[in-house]
Copies of this chain bind each other. A is one copy, B any other.
Amino acid sequence: MKVSITGTGITKFGELWDKSLLDLAFDAGNEAIKESGLKKEQINALFVGNMLSAKFDSQGHLGPAVAQVLGLVSPAFHIEAACASGGLAIHLAAQAIEAGEYENVLVLGAEKMTDVSTAEAASGLMGAASEEERDAGLTFPGLYALMAQAYFAKYQVSQKDVAYASVKNHLHASLNENAQFGNKITVEQVLKSMEIANPLKLLDCSPISDGAAAVVLSKKESKKPFISASSTKTDTLSLSQRKTLTEIIAAQEAAKSAYRSAGVSPNDIDLAEVHDCFSIAEVIAMEDLSFCKKGEGAKLIKTGKTTIGGKMPVNTSGGLKACGHPVGATGVKQVVEITRQLEGRLTKRQVKNPKIGLTHNVGGTGATVVVNIIQN
Contact = CB atoms under 8 A, between A and B. Distances in A.
Interface of A: 22, 46, 51-52, 54-55, 58-65, 67-68, 72-82, 88, 92, 95-96, 98-101, 123-124, 126-131, 134, 232-238, 241, 363-364, 367-368
Contacts of A126: 58
A234 to B, nearest CB: 5
A243 to B, nearest CB: 12
Contact of A127 (B60, B123, B130, B368): B60
A74 B127 contact: no
A106 to B, nearest CB: 12
- In the complex this chain forms, how many copies of it are found? 2
A58 B82 CA distance: 12
Contacts of A134: 58
14 contacts: A52-B60, A54-B54, A54-B55, A54-B124, A61-B364, A62-B80, A63-B81, A72-B234, A75-B232, A75-B233, A76-B234, A80-B80, A95-B96, A99-B100
Nearest to A125: B60
Contacts of A63: 81, 234, 367-368
Contacts of A92: 77, 92
Given A63-B234, A101-B95, A235-B73, A54 B80 contact: yes
A99 B101 CA distance: 8
B95 A363 contact: no
Nearest to A98: B99
A370 to B, nearest CB: 9
Given A127-B60, A234-B64, A79 B77 contact: yes
B241 A61 contact: no
Contacts of A95: 96, 99, 101
A130 B68 contact: yes
A233 B44 CA distance: 11
B64 A368 contact: yes
Given A92-B92, A95-B96, A96-B95, A61 B127 contact: yes
Given A54-B55, A92-B92, A61 B367 contact: yes
Contacts of A233: 75
Contacts of A128: 60-61
A259 to B, nearest CB: 17
A241 B69 CA distance: 11
Contact of A234 (B67, B232, B234, B236): B67
A238 B68 contact: yes
B368 A68 contact: no
A326 to B, nearest CB: 15
Given A60-B82, A73-B235, A75-B234, A241 B54 contact: no
A128 B59 CA distance: 7
